Amino acid sequence: MRSALEIFLRIEQSHQSMVGEALVPVVGDVEARERWLYEQAPFGLLAHDGGADPRFVYANLTALRWFEYSWDDLIGRPSRQSAGPEEQAERDRLLAEAARQGWSDGYGGVRVSRTGRRFRIEDVLMWNLLDDAGERCGQAARIRTCRPMTDDPSG
């Protein structure tokens, strides 16, 4: 498995390549940019690998808080588990659209935290992660907005 720093570089470089703009507004060394994305970004960021059943390889602190996981509990978990059964078809559509086009913007949907709490993610940008040969090796998602579900029976 790659280090968090190597994964960060893949996320950052792929975002620039696919979306055409910088993901991190911090200028400086790679450690400072990675620290900003992990600790200070005002959005959630998740990434999964390119396997048949993609598994999380990265999450920043904002996403970890929203999904109520620690790094060790989320990394390696199948990313499909972030959505309930009723959301899988729409999630699959988003993944396929991003895979086909390189990126997709404006998605919104319901997700489920570790404790079963449902919440709504909105204004999501998803893009393909590219390996050194320019081939798709996963996907990343920037979640700009997260709102609690007012009708969530879990609390």
CATH of the domain at 14: 3.30.450.20
Alpha-carbon gap, residue 79 to 59, rounded angstroms: 11
Q: What is the DSSP letter of 20?
A: S
Q: Is 154 among the domain residues?
A: no
Q: Is 113 among the domain residues?
A: no
User: Please, which residues have CB within 8 angstroms of residue 26's CB and are 6 or more apart in sequence?
Assistant: 32, 33, 36
Residue-wise pLDDT tens digits, 81-97: 999 999 999 999 999 99
Question: Can you give the residue range of the structural domain that contains 65?
Answer: 4-103+126-142
Q: Comparing 154 with 43, which gets the higher pLDDT?
A: 43
Alpha-carbon gap, residue 59 to 95, rounded angstroms: 17
User: What pTM value is reported for the model?
Assistant: 0.92
Percentage helix, strand, coil for the chain under 3-state DSSP, each rounded to 5: 40, 30, 30
Selection from 108, 85, 104 nearest residue 18 by Cα: 104
* Beta strands across the sheet bearing 44-49: 56-59, 44-49, 136-148, 118-130, 103-112
Q: Is 147 among the domain residues?
A: no
Q: Is 54 among the domain residues?
A: yes
Q: Is 37 among the domain residues?
A: yes
* Percent of the chain with pLDDT strictly greater than 90: 90
Judge whether 63 and 90 are in contact, CB under 8 Å.
Answer: no
For the chain, the domain total comes to: 1
Q: Is 152 among the domain residues?
A: no
Q: Is 120 among the domain residues?
A: no
Quick check: 43 pLDDT over 80?
Answer: yes
Q: Comparing 123 with 27, which gets the higher pLDDT?
A: 123
Q: Is 110 among the domain residues?
A: no
Segment 3-29 mean pLDDT: 93
Quick check: 153 pLDDT over 60?
Answer: no
